[in-house]
Amino acid sequence: MSTAAETTGGDIEPWEEVTPDAARRLLVAAVEAFAERGYHATTTRDIAGRAGMSPAALYIHYKTKEELLHRISRIGHDRAVAILRAAAQGEGSAAERLADAVSSFVRWHAGRRTTARVVQYELDALGPEARDEILTLRRQCDAAVRGIIDDGVASGEFDVPDVKGTTLAVLSLCIDVARWFNVNGPRTPDEVGALYADLVLRMVGAEPTGAAQK
């Protein structure tokens, strides 16, 4: 499935923040190539060819292949932070907010699995400055989930002896969905999100919420 047609609840991934159209086409082509071949095995000629453009045209919009990866990674991580912060700052109990965070994050990794594989697994290909920028965003994701778990421990909803380790485990579970999810498999992104929300609540010793059982 093309990156442009990946779905979460039927929505199309627009990459609307990327302009002009030629730059967007190149970015979508890069996502597909990086996911299929890996960053290091992909050439700028591969990317341009997928976009139906000449290699010279790529350099009008992106100075280097790494700049493309950085843009993809930045957009993806900005989205990840937004998803987790929205859940963390939402109304409801800690259990409800954790279920919302997990189900939403999992749905994104399943529905945008091609993009998510590049965003989550090609970090080491970035140079030091770009990598540090993305690591800062990852720490913000960690802080959002850790804050919910801290709230649950404080309120007595969760039984978590190691909040830091549990936070890492929760995020790892969600991210790994991008690696194995199959659009032709038996579960939809929504169903996987609900399953994982239930599993995570059991992990922290909480009762499943309505959101986790949908």
| Arithmetic mean of pLDDT over the chain | 91
Q: How confident is the model at residue 15 (pLDDT cuts 50, 70, 90)?
A: confident
The share of the chain scoring above pLDDT 90, in percent, equals 86
What number is the average pLDDT over the span 22-51?
Answer: 95
Is residue 1 pLDDT above 60, yes or no? Answer: no
pLDDT in tens, 38-93: 999 999 999 999 999 999 999 999 999 999 999 999 999 999 999 999 999 999 99
Whether the CB-CB separation of 194 and 103 falls below 8 Å is answered with yes
Q: How confident is the model at residue 6 (pLDDT cuts 50, 70, 90)?
A: low
Is residue 10 pLDDT above 50, yes or no? Answer: no
pLDDT in tens, 102-141: 999 999 999 999 999 999 999 999 999 999 999 999 999 9
Instruction: Supply the pLDDT for residue 8.
Output: 41
H or E element, residue 8: strand 7-8
Per-residue HEC secondary structure of 85-136 comes to HHHHCCCCCHHHHHHHHHHHHHHHHHHCHHHHHHHHHCHHHCCHHHHHHHHH
